[in-house]
Chain A
Amino acid sequence: EAQVTQNPRYLITVTGKKLTVTCSQNMNHEYMSWYRQDPGLGLRQIYYSMNVEVTDKGDVPEGYKVSRKEKRNFPLILESPSPNQTSLYFCASTRSGQGYYEQYFGPGTRLTVT
């Protein structure tokens, strides 16, 4: 089954404790993205990757890091989480090229930073 998986699904942590949210897709997609969802703001792109070792900032990258060492994986790293990063996070992937405009979303990770 084609899918995007995220782990963990729920996470409660404390300010300053480094954490990683994993994302993996089994569709051999080139593009992957991270979004955060906040009430009244919809979803906003944090970072994206066009392929292995190629990443770039989205609209709200502050406080986050990413890496893309394998095509299927795109982890989101919060090196020093703060309460304003409490949010619902979605990973997404899509094929590269004209005509491939649909993004496939993971189930989401709900993060609470106290």
Chain B
Amino acid sequence: AQSVTQPDIHITVSEGASLELRCNYSYGATPYLFWYVQSPGQGLQLLLKYFSGDTLVQGIKGFEAEFKRSQSSFNLRKPSVHWSDAAEYFCAVGALLNGEYGNKLVFGAGTILRVKS
């Protein structure tokens, strides 16, 4: 079964510093990967997704992620963090369900990002 590991429960970075959130997945075939962000008291917003093709994926709000098959990783990066980026970030992989990948997501436990000024 597919699984997702986000090793860091909390990360604190200074405003303006670079950010990397780690995500490792367990899946044999080409995975369908997603990063979501959840601001305090809010719902889920899709930051970016990887289905195939270029392994460096650009998303919204200046985020990018790189798919590395050899490391089973899909780490999220941002070159310069803003205070408004403080939120919880979830990595997810599309799980095979009834022959299709769109019907279920398996999520990591999440990483809470704190931004200090």
Closest B residue by C-beta to A108: B43
Query: Any chain B CB within 8 A of the CB of A61?
Result: no
How many Cβ-Cβ contacts under 8 Å join chain A to chain B? 61
What is B's interface to A at a CB cutoff of 8 Å? Answer: 4, 9, 32, 34, 42-44, 46, 49, 51, 90, 92, 94, 97-98, 100-105, 107-110
Query: Contact: A41 with B105, CB < 8 Å?
Result: no
Residues of B close to A31: CB separation below 8 A: 102-103
Residues of B close to A40: CB separation below 8 A: 9, 109-110
Residues of A close to B43: CB separation below 8 A: 90, 105-108
Query: Any chain B CB within 8 A of the CB of A65?
Result: no
Q: How far is the CB of B5 from chain A (nearest CB, A)?
A: 10
The listed residue with most A CB atoms (<10 A of its CB), out of B4, B94, B107, is: B107
The listed residue with most B CB atoms (<10 A of its CB), out of A43, A100, A107, is: A43
- Contact digits for A83-99, partner B, Cβ 8 Å, 1 yes 0 no: 00000001010111110
Query: Contact: B94 with A101, CB < 8 Å?
Result: yes
Query: Any chain B CB within 8 A of the CB of A33?
Result: yes
Closest B residue by C-beta to A97: B100
